[in-house]
A and B are shown apart, each in its own frame.
Chain A
């Protein structure tokens, strides 16, 4: 294994700059503009102001503060998070489809929030009572259309990002002709994910019990069902058995599901790499992104297997260098 991909270190390149414009600057600008407009219009609107619409027009009123606060949350919530977490990772050289996606999503959300919230305030300027507020269907359609347009433009102005996984030091392994070898490992989730998933399951279970005590049986079954669904999917998120042997690479979750494999004949190359779950795959779990299937249960060391054809398989597992070396040695021997 001599392949050694250079991590992208070229100082602020287009991917980072455009991510900043689309995911942070544009939402910030839209949000501020919408806030200024709303603060100018709110004094001229009725108090309380209509904040909820049903099929027969406005059917609920409340404090006008709802609008600027919602605008701020929708418009800059995701961006603030991207600013704090994704931008530093991009600057350090992480690249992936999900960065581009999240920036476009942030721009779209900010457009939706700014336009719709401002629309709701604007149509009430000069009214005597919130009961007179007209319908907002047009506002919903306009804001959604604009949001989709901004999101799409935001996606395309950013450059295409190749999945970038920095290579770790590789090892080499010699196999004798008749020798048999297998590498067995377990991919495990980080402690944080374990606590999070256990917490969600516990909260749902407690809610189910509370519903049972309150004799709300329909609610009880919904909560109980949700807890079961979370618990079962959590199993797949927590652990996966990884095996390299003469058949190739085999990855399976608890009780054999989910399951994926790369037959030895399809292995083009294998390497130990380092993965940033969020940046490369947009999160944790069994994830399909362009160019790769990821079994990403944590960030860090991972085995990447490139196929002769089709998407790569990336599994986060300790001692990936040994697994990669064995897979390469087995493939080389089978190819002789």
Chain B
């Protein structure tokens, strides 16, 4: 799996990393039961602190996308499958909003209000 981060970006590194993993889950590259790479390997591969990687993994756990288990690492949950489907619906929704000439802020506001 390809992971890219940009230290010069305004987003914190852990958030960039979490976003990269979330994208892999959303587009189906990571599926239920798949294991995320060992945090140590990701940290040394990207030249970031181990805690940055663990922070990203915890963020995904808080979203219910992965399970963190001692000794087993981070495993993608069934929730992730749902996220992948939702991603497709949202992409469609985004397209419709664009066709209607709606601003992203308005569309996001509508979505938030609906939940």
Contacts and interface: CB of A to CB of B under 8 A. Distances in A.
Chains A and B belong together in one complex: yes
B83 interface: no
A184 B41 contact: yes
Contacts, number: 48
A182 B42 contact: yes
B15 interface: no
A247 to B, nearest CB: 8
B7 A183 contact: no
A179 to B, nearest CB: 5
Contact of B37 (A176, A181, A184, A246): A184
Interface residues of B, number: 16
B1 A180 contact: no
A90 B1 CA distance: 34
Contacts of A173: 2
B2 A181 contact: yes
B102 to A, nearest CB: 32
A245 B46 contact: yes
A95 interface: no
A243 B2 CA distance: 10
B2 A178 contact: no
Interface in B1-60: 1-8, 37, 41-42, 44-48
Contacts of B2: 173, 181-183, 322, 326
A185 B30 CA distance: 12
Given A179-B5, A181-B46, A241-B41, 17 more contacts: A175-B4, A176-B6, A180-B7, A180-B46, A180-B47, A181-B2, A184-B3, A184-B37, A184-B42, A185-B1, A243-B41, A243-B45, A245-B45, A246-B47, A319-B1, A322-B2, A326-B2
Interface of B: 1-8, 37, 41-42, 44-48
Interface of A: 173, 175-176, 178-185, 241, 243, 245-246, 319, 322, 326
